[in-house]
């Protein structure tokens, strides 16, 4: 375990004041009995762990679960700033289990997506978590989209995606009676699930294995311990101090950050490089009225345009039976701003001063203008949706209160977590 952690920790710079060498690895007993999720727990000021994971979303909880199941002798804690777990990106997404068709063959993304889809189905079966393997059509509605569709199909085959077929209009009608298209990729392995339910199940597994979850713990500072408390060896055994906005602290040997929309800031607090910076985008969804749900059976996606960093507006069934239409992609004025007028001066200034926003805007100017237009005018979005299902009208849909945060940067997507040790 220790060599792997030290290798990962070497991927970022040591934090301010850090030791020059790797620490001797010390095992500690698992903390006391787990406490109910979102209901409080042990006082943070008395907690020491071998590993602390910052972030109680699905990435943080999956990491915590994997660590404690593989290395049960480790004492591990998860810190979450909200009173409940998995309430941001994990709880605000379309819920699609992607099959792995989009990514470059032999890339890590391609391998993880294909393997991850199989593992999520297996896990849901084991835990009795509901999901629907409803499939997906990627539909070409214009002649110039067909070469891109065929290339995408070949990519999916190279990635080992199960059950892929190129189908013609008559077979499109058999899968989606109200959808029009010239050609489509049939992806039967695509599904939908409630990812927050999955994340909470991860948390339960983690706690039952002896892990601790501390909610209402918003990390403000991560530093090397300056001195040991009186008659305590914590400063030697647990040299990393993590403080929250209330002045409470936990100590640990290693810290793993899985902070989602705040990954750059928490990475910087831990002494790592904050680049690439987060530029937040908000995705707004429309919802098909209940009496019109018969128009859509499974996921219906457009052929993606590789010039732009988004998949485009699509039709997505949900576990509750509703049908979401979207999302668009509009620059958000707050990192966790789910409403159009949510605003944070700090977040806006960070985007303007520290990020590559100007470069991003110029690279995607026409796309951005089109997304803003569709966000303002419902009829513009409906016109796009009618390319796939002509029967849809403005009166068939309404705006959803659900909005998903997404993140991008001027250079590349941030790794899902970083690790620092002293």
Helix (H) or strand (E) holding 331: strand 330-331
| pLDDT for 331 | 86
Q: Residue 378 burial (CB < 10 Å; 0-12/13-18/19+)?
A: middle
Which two structure tokens, joined as six digits, stand for 411? 């250079």
Q: Measured between alpha carbons, how far is 155 from 113 in angstroms, rounded to an integer?
A: 13
> With 70 as the cut, is the pLDDT of residue 417 above it?
no
- Provide the whole-model pTM: 0.84
> In which band, very low, low, confident or very high, does the pLDDT at 364 lie, cut at 50, 70 and 90?
confident
Q: What is the pLDDT of residues 374-397, one digit of tens each?
A: 878 889 899 999 999 999 999 999
Find the DSSP H helices in 245-285. 263-269
Which pLDDT belongs to residue 168?
98
Above 90 in pLDDT, residue 295? yes
Who's near 369: CB < 8 A, 6+ residues apart?
Answer: none
- Nearest-CA neighbor of 328 among 311, 316, 343, 341? 311
Examine residue 327 and say whether the peptide bond preceding it is cis (omega within 30 degrees of 0).
yes
For the stretch 77-102, pLDDT in tens is: 999 999 999 999 999 999 999 999 99
The burial class, CB within 10 Å (0-12 / 13-18 / 19+), for 344 is middle
pLDDT of 307 reads 74
**CA–CA distance, 249 with 36 (Å, rounded to integer):** 21
CA 199 – CA 195 distance, rounded (Å): 6
Decide if pLDDT at 407 tops 60. Answer: no
Average pLDDT, the chain: 84
Q: Is the pLDDT of residue 63 over 70?
A: yes
pLDDT category at 183 given cuts 50, 70, 90 is very high
Report the percentage of the chain scoring pLDDT > 70: 81
- Mean pLDDT across 361-378: 81
Q: What is the pLDDT of residues 149-175, one digit of tens each?
A: 999 999 999 999 999 999 999 999 999
- pLDDT tens across 316-329, in order? 999 999 999 988 88
Stretch 61-75: mean pLDDT: 97
Provide the pLDDT for residue 227: 64
Better pLDDT: 222 or 15: 222
Cα–Cα distances in Å, from 393 out to 91, 284, 357, 377, 384? 29, 18, 35, 13, 11
Question: Cβ distance 270 to 258 under 8 Å?
Answer: no
> pLDDT band at residue 290, thresholds of 50, 70 and 90?
very high
Higher pLDDT, 13 or 222: 222
Q: Which two tokens stand for residue 228?
A: 């040991």
């Amino acid at each position: 375990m220790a060599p792997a952690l030290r290798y990962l920790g070497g991927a970022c710079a040591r934090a301010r004041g850090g030791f020059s060498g790797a620490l001797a690895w010390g095992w500690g007993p698992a903390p006391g009995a787990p406490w109910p999720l979102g209901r409080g727990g042990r006082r943070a000021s008395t907690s020491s762990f071998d590993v602390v994971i910052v972030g109680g979303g699905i990435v943080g909880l999956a990491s915590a679960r994997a660590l404690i199941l593989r290395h049960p002798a480790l004492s591990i804690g998860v810190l979450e700033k909200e009173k409940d777990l998995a309430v941001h990106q994990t709880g605000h997404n379309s819920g699609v289990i992607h099959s792995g068709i989009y990514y470059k063959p032999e890339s890590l993304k391609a391998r993880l997506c294909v393997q991850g889809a199989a593992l999520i189905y297996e896990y849901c079966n084991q835990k009795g978590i509901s999901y629907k393997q409803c499939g997906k059509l990627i539909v070409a509605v214009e002649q110039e989209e067909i070469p891109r569709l065929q290339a995408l199909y070949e990519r999916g085959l190279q990635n080992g995606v199960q059950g892929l077929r190129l189908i013609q209009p008559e077979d499109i009608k058999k899968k989606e009676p109200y959808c029009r298209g010239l050609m489509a990729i049939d992806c039967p392995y695509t599904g939908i699930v409630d990812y927050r339910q999955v994340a909470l199940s991860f948390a339960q597994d983690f706690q039952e294995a002896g892990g601790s979850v501390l909610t209402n713990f918003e990390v403000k500072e991560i530093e090397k311990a300056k001195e040991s408390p009186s008659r305590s060896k914590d400063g030697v055994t647990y040299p990393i101090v993590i403080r929250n906005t209330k002045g409470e602290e936990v100590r640990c040997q290693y810290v793993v950050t899985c902070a989602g929309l705040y990954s750059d800031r928490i990475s910087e607090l831990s002494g790592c490089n904050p680049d690439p910076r987060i530029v937040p985008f908000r995705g707004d969804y429309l919802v098909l009225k209940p009496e019109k749900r018969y128009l859509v059976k499974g996921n219906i996606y457009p052929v993606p345009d590789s010039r732009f960093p988004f998949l485009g507006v699509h039709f997505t069934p949900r576990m509750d039976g509703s049908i979401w239409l979207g999302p668009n992609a509009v620059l958000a004025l707050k990192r966790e701003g789910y409403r159009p007028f949510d605003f944070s001066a700090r977040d806006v200034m960070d985007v303007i001063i520290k990020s590559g926003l100007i470069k991003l805007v110029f690279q995607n100017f026409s796309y951005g203008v089109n997304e803003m237009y569709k966000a303002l005018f419902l009829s513009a979005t409906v016109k796009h949706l009618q390319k796939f299902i002509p029967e849809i009208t403005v009166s068939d849909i309404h705006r959803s209160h659900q909005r998903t945060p997404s993140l991008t940067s001027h250079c590349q997507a941030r790794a899902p977590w970083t690790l620092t040790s002293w």
